[in-house]
Every structure is written in structure tokens, then in C-alpha cells.
Amino acid sequence: MKNTFNTPTFSELFPNEKRFTKILREYLRYHLHKIWCSSECYGLNDYLANNPLWARLFKQDLYRFNTLLETYCNKKFNKKERLNAIITHFNCAEKLFGSAYCNQLVEDREICLITLNDEVSIYLSINQIDPLEGFFSLNIQNNQKEHIYDSSFTFLSKDQLLISSIQGPNTEFSQSLIKSATKQLYGVRPMFMLVNIFKLIAQYLNLELLGIHHKNQAKYRWNDHSKLLFNYNLFWQENGGTLNSNNYWRLPTIVEIKELSTIPSKKRSMYKKRYELFEKIEQELKELW
């Protein structure tokens, strides 16, 4: 019997929403988008019917269907581009990671990629913050399973990886978490460590590494952009990025290593441990896929 997958109903997408104004606004938006994207809905339903692994991912949280109806990673994507980007991501994930690994990721929701030291580890996760920014994320967690930093991403093609969001903790202990992690990472701030991990992954898988343009980021709104406190364009420039013709920031895939002799003597030991950590990450990545 052929598998089927149907476009989720409004109540399935927003099962817990109680605010009347919010429900009314989302209800109207849902039906308008569903009509406008009817052909693309059919295309995604057909893809998921034929790819039960990814159908399972959607059934875990049907809100993920809004990636087709509203936004997926890049606000400039039109409805056809969103459909293509979603399907491309899943196809590339299976090709690059392998079907068994993807099955494990969907089943467990997260996989520990690398234990950096006794305190912090790198995880590959199903993005639990907002799927509109990407289905997958890399994150740094401590031993208490607290997320120190998250970064969602998508595969744009078989040889392109787009970092689509960077997000730190949002608790009263945020600063102490970041400070502690920076110390554990030998002076590398967690958000920069995530970019370094992406660089090493892209290098190993022979991918072009890209960063999202600030105004194309999924959460960007022209009328309340001040709420998006993190400036992606400045951050990518700090990481050696250059803006390409497609309005993505092209990032280098080589992790910067300075000659120890050029580093002040009192910091030399810290940098040596940092570079040893990068070597450890590089070696362990090669054993994953």
C-alpha cells in the first residue's frame, strides 16, 4: 500500500494557540498560503509520501510544514525555491551523512558529534528553536545539557552548506554560561567555535560554506529589525566572509592557525591547546561519515 502524506490542517499546525487575535491572524494567513502554494504543497506531500524518513520528521512536529507555506532559511526564496530547498536539503543530508545516520538523527533528535572536553560537547540536532531557520542545527552543550549556542543550517546543493542562524542562550545565566564555555574552549567564544566546526565540516565534505545575509535571515522584519540584535553581516566579516553575487557571505573553510612564535608568551600555552583541540575535532569528524 502506497504511503500518503497530507497537508496539515490549521489546528494541526497550531494545536496549542489560545490567543484569539493570534489564531485569527494565523488562520487567515494559513488558508491564503495554502491556496497560493497549492502546487508546492502537492509536491512536498508527494516527496514525503515517498520518503518516510523525512515524513517521520514532519509528523514529530507538523509546524515544520510552515517552512513551505511561509519561510525557509532565506526570506528571499519564493514558493518554488522553498520547495526545492527543502527537498534538496533532505536529499543532500542522506547523501552526505548516510541514511542510517539520518535515521538515528530523526529518531534520537540529536547526536553527540564530538566531546570537546570534560565540560562541553558538539551536537548535531534536529532544530528545536524554529524550523523556519533550518531543520538541522549544530550546538554546543554542557554536561547539564544546557544549550550554550545553536546554529541552524541547510544544504543548498550537493556542494553548498548555508549557515542560516546563530543563537545564544536566553536565560538569566546566559553570560556565565558563555564565559565558562569560552574558558573551556581556550579563549574561543562559542559562536566562533561553531563557525570553526562548520569550516572543518565543509572542508572534510568538500562543501562551499555560506552565511545568510542579515536582511535575508528568516527572522528579519523590515519594520522591527531592531529586535534582531545580532548583525549577521558584521559577524560573517569577522569570520573572513566576502559577499558573493547571490547575496550570500562566502566563508573560508580553513581554520586560522597562527605561528606560536608570533603569539605573546603568556598566551602561547592557551593557543597551543586551542590548536590541539582543532586537530582533535578534525580527526574525529573524519570518523563520523
Are both 223 and 120 inside the same structural domain?
A: yes
| Domain limit, last residue, from 70, 87, 118 | 70
Give the pLDDT confidence of 174-195 residue by residue, as tens digits: 999 999 999 999 999 999 999 9
* C-beta of residue 148 within 8 angstroms of C-beta of residue 141: yes
- Give the span between the Cα atoms of 231 and 154, in whole angstroms: 20
**Tens digit of each residue's pLDDT (9 = 90 or more) over 220-256:** 876 555 555 689 999 999 999 999 999 999 999 999 9
Closest listed residue to residue 210, CA positions, set 287, 100, 134:
134
Domain match, 143 and 218 both: yes
Q: Pick the last residue of a domain from 23, 50, 70.
A: 70
Residue 87 in any domain: the answer is no
124 and 14 in a single domain? The answer is: no
**In this structure, are 254 and 146 located in the same domain?**
yes
| Cell reading at 165 | 542562524
Query: Is the CB of residue 118 less than 8 Å from the CB of residue 131?
Result: no
Q: Is 145 contained in some domain?
A: yes
Structural domain span for residue 276: 100-285
In the chain, how many domains are there?
2
Based on the domain organization, do 17 and 156 belong to the same domain?
A: no
133 with 211, same domain?
yes
Q: At what angle do helices 190-205 and 265-285 cross, to 10 degrees?
A: 40
**Residue 199 in this model has a pLDDT that exceeds 70:** yes
What share of the chain has pLDDT > 70, as a percent?
97
Sheet of strand 136-142: strand arrangement: 110-115, 120-126, 136-142, 147-157, 160-163, 208-211, 249-251, 242-243
- Are 65 and 118 in a shared domain? no
- Please indicate, yes or no, whether residues 165 and 209 belong to a single structural domain of this protein: yes
Residue 4 falls inside a structural domain = no
pTM of the model: 0.94
